[in-house]
């Protein structure tokens, strides 16, 4: 019996942070390292949003607020869901937390009992299984494949559902693959969920605005209104408005759930930062034109990275619809040796070799529950992306 809670033993330390730490150490020791591990836009928060925060401070909006968010932000959330997703919510169905991650945590903590299962399609964002485990639930993974462009098959979803299934955590555009479902691809999945009325849907739409070409974003309750009464539609300002440090995530869903999440938040963090909430009112209500401009910059970077990676020997990289990640396979690089005599057996070996021999930091697929792949975040400069892809090409070409 140690001092630290058993619940914490069910949780893995973040492997994405481990890679970032190693890259930072190498950099500090004078090595030339390019980090492609970060999960945040390299753009700055737009000025109108910063100004709204400064005004809030000047106006004395510096006190506790309602636990579940200020009325002005809940109204902005209701308008956003109507305008962009065609979903009708009342302000009493809206919930604001210090970050999207905290929204998910509140939803799980407020609903899971020991033995409850939560379906998590793999590869997944690293935090889902750990949040589920911390809250006493059991993550159940549904694997996807490169051939399916990492999209879940309806029959695989159906097979994973048991009487104990409480939730599915659905995320698209996906971290780590960038995959996003079209309406036609999503409908067969919502059809499966309609056959299992005991399963609730937490949809993480965080990357909604980072979509490319003619892809049109859709969210489950929009495709299948029959799911509305058991869907928590989650979103946030972190990725779309380059506001990762402000810590604001939000959601809307059935009142009974929102009330339970509010109760939990009242005894944990209380309200999200008042100043950040006012900044988020401006983010959601203010001008939206820069979203398309930034998406265009991300699309150009995606195209560059996908094309250069597909020229690397042994790498196969599908073109994702959204987010700022690609998830190439390194299957063709396994069971080979680097010029320095390192044997590459797993994606973790590949990633370590790439970092130590070429100074490029990426994250192994094992961290996201599907190997042998690696994740690249292309939220960095074109020059850094070109140089790192050249190094990846050289690393792969030198494997024997």
Ligand X SMILES: Cc1ncc(COP(=O)(O)O)c(C=O)c1O
What's the min distance (Å) between Cβ of 238 and ligand X?
4
Closest to ligand X by CB, 39 vs 253, is: 39
Closest to ligand X by CB, 35 vs 249, is: 249
How many whole angstroms separate alpha carbon 113 and alpha carbon 70?
Answer: 30
Binding mask 146-165 for ligand X (x = CB under 6 A): --------------------
- Which one, of 272, 230, 355, 245, lies nearest residue 77 by Cα? 272
Q: With binding defined as CB under 6 A, does residue 99 bind ligand X?
A: yes
Closest to ligand X by CB, 282 vs 358, is: 282
Q: Work out which of 236, 314, 353, 372 binds ligand X, going by CB under 6 A.
A: 236
Query: Considering only 54-62, 98-106, 361-369, 384-392, which stretch makes contact with ligand X by CB under 6 A?
Result: 98-106
Residue 7 CB partners (closer than 8 Å, separation 6+):
133, 134, 136
What's the min distance (Å) between Cβ of 171 and ligand X?
5
How many whole angstroms separate alpha carbon 132 and alpha carbon 118?
Answer: 7
Closest to ligand X by CB, 210 vs 351, is: 210
Closest to ligand X by CB, 206 vs 363, is: 206
Q: Work out which of 85, 144, 175, 276 binds ligand X, going by CB under 6 A.
A: 175
Q: With binding defined as CB under 6 A, does residue 125 bind ligand X?
A: yes
3-state secondary structure 209-254: CCECCCCCCCCHHHHCHHHHHHEEEEEECCCCCCCHHHCCEEEECC
Q: Work out which of 37, 41, 46, 100 binds ligand X, going by CB under 6 A.
A: 100
What's the min distance (Å) between Cβ of 269 and ligand X?
12
Residue at token pair 């780590």? 176
Query: Which neighbouring-strand residues pair with 234?
Result: 204, 251
Query: Considering only 50-58, 99-107, 257-265, 271-279, which stretch makes contact with ligand X by CB under 6 A?
Result: 99-107
- Distance between the two ends of the chain, CA-based, in angstroms? 48
Q: With binding defined as CB under 6 A, does residue 171 bind ligand X?
A: yes
Residue 374 CB partners (closer than 8 Å, separation 6+):
327, 328, 330, 347, 350, 351, 362, 363, 364, 365
Query: Considering only 80-88, 236-244, 330-338, 359-367, which stretch makes contact with ligand X by CB under 6 A?
Result: 236-244
Q: Work out which of 33, 49, 74, 101 binds ligand X, going by CB under 6 A.
A: 101
Q: With binding defined as CB under 6 A, does residue 338 bind ligand X?
A: no
Q: With binding defined as CB under 6 A, does residue 249 bind ligand X?
A: yes
Residue 108 CB partners (closer than 8 Å, separation 6+):
118, 131, 132, 134, 135, 137, 167
Residue 245 token pair: 């440090």
What's the min distance (Å) between Cβ of 100 and ligand X?
3
CA distances in angstroms from 212 to 9, 86, 178, listed in the order given: 40, 21, 10
What's the min distance (Å) between Cβ of 395 and ligand X?
27
**Beta strand spans in the chain (E):** 34-35, 94-97, 117-122, 138-143, 165-171, 200-204, 231-236, 249-252, 325-326, 336-337, 343-344, 360-361, 363-364, 374-377
How many whole angstroms separate alpha carbon 116 and alpha carbon 122?
Answer: 19
Q: With binding defined as CB under 6 A, does residue 121 bind ligand X?
A: no
Closest to ligand X by CB, 100 vs 359, is: 100
**Burial of 108 (C-beta count, 10 Å sphere; 0-12/13-18/19+):** buried
How many whole angstroms separate alpha carbon 272 and alpha carbon 224?
Answer: 31
Query: Considering only 96-104, 180-188, 335-343, 352-360, which stretch makes contact with ligand X by CB under 6 A?
Result: 96-104
Closest to ligand X by CB, 97 vs 392, is: 97
CA distances in angstroms from 284 to 94, 174, 324, listed in the order given: 14, 22, 21
Closest to ligand X by CB, 178 vs 314, is: 178
Q: With binding defined as CB under 6 A, does residue 244 bind ligand X?
A: yes
Q: Work out which of 45, 133, 222, 238 binds ligand X, going by CB under 6 A.
A: 238
Closest to ligand X by CB, 134 vs 206, is: 206
What's the min distance (Å) between Cβ of 132 and ligand X?
14
Q: Work out which of 23, 35, 37, 39 binds ligand X, going by CB under 6 A.
A: 39
Q: What are the contacts of 343-347 at 24+ separation with CB within 8 A?
A: 344/399, 346/371, 346/372, 347/371, 347/372, 347/373, 347/374
Residues contributing to the site for ligand X (CB under 6 A): 39, 99-101, 125, 171, 175, 204, 206, 236, 238, 244, 249
């Amino acid at each position: 019996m140690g001092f630290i809670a058993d619940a914490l033993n069910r949780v893995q330390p973040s492997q994405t942070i481990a890679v970032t730490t190693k890259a930072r150490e190498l950099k500090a020791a004078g090595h030339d390292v390019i980090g492609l591990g970060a999960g945040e836009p390299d753009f700055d928060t737009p000025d109108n949003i910063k100004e709204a925060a400064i005004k809030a401070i000047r106006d004395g909006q510096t006190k506790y607020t309602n636990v579940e968010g200020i009325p002005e932000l809940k109204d902005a959330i209701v308008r956003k869901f109507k305008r962009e997703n065609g979903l009708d919510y009342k302000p009493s169905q809206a919930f604001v937390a210090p970050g999207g991650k905290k929204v998910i945590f509140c939803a799980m903590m407020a609903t899971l009992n020991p033995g409850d299962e939560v379906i998590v399609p793999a590869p997944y964002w690293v935090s889902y299984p750990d949040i589920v485990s911390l809250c006493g639930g059991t993550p159940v993974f549904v694997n996807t494949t490169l051939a399916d462009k990492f999209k879940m098959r309806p029959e695989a979803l159906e097979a994973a559902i048991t009487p104990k299934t409480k939730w599915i955590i659905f995320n698209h555009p996906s971290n780590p693959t960038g995959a996003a479902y079209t309406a036609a691809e999503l409908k067969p999945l919502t059809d499966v969920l309609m056959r299992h009325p005991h399963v609730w849907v937490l949809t993480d739409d965080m990357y909604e605005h980072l979509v490319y070409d003619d892809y049109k974003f859709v969210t489950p309750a929009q495709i299948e209104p029959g799911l509305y009464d058991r869907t928590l539609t989650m979103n946030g300002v972190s990725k779309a408005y380059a506001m990762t440090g402000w810590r604001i995530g939000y959601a809307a869903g059935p009142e009974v759930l929102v009330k339970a999440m509010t109760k939990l938040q009242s005894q944990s963090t209380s309200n999200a930062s008042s100043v950040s909430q006012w900044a988020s009112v401006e983010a959601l209500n203010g001008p939206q034109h820069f979203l398309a401009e930034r998406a265009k910059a991300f699309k150009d970077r995606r195209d560059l990275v996908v094309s250069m990676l597909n020229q690397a020997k042994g790498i196969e990289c599908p073109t994702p619809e959204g987010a700022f990640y690609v998830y190439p396979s390194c299957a063709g690089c396994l069971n080979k040796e680097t010029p320095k005599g390192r044997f590459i057996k797993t994606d973790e070996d590949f990633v370590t070799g790439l970092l130590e021999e070429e100074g490029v930091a990426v994250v192994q697929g094992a961290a996201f529950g599907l190997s042998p792949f690696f994740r690249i975040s292309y939220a960095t400069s074109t020059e850094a992306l070109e140089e790192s892809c050249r190094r990846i090409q050289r690393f792969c070409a030198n494997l024997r």
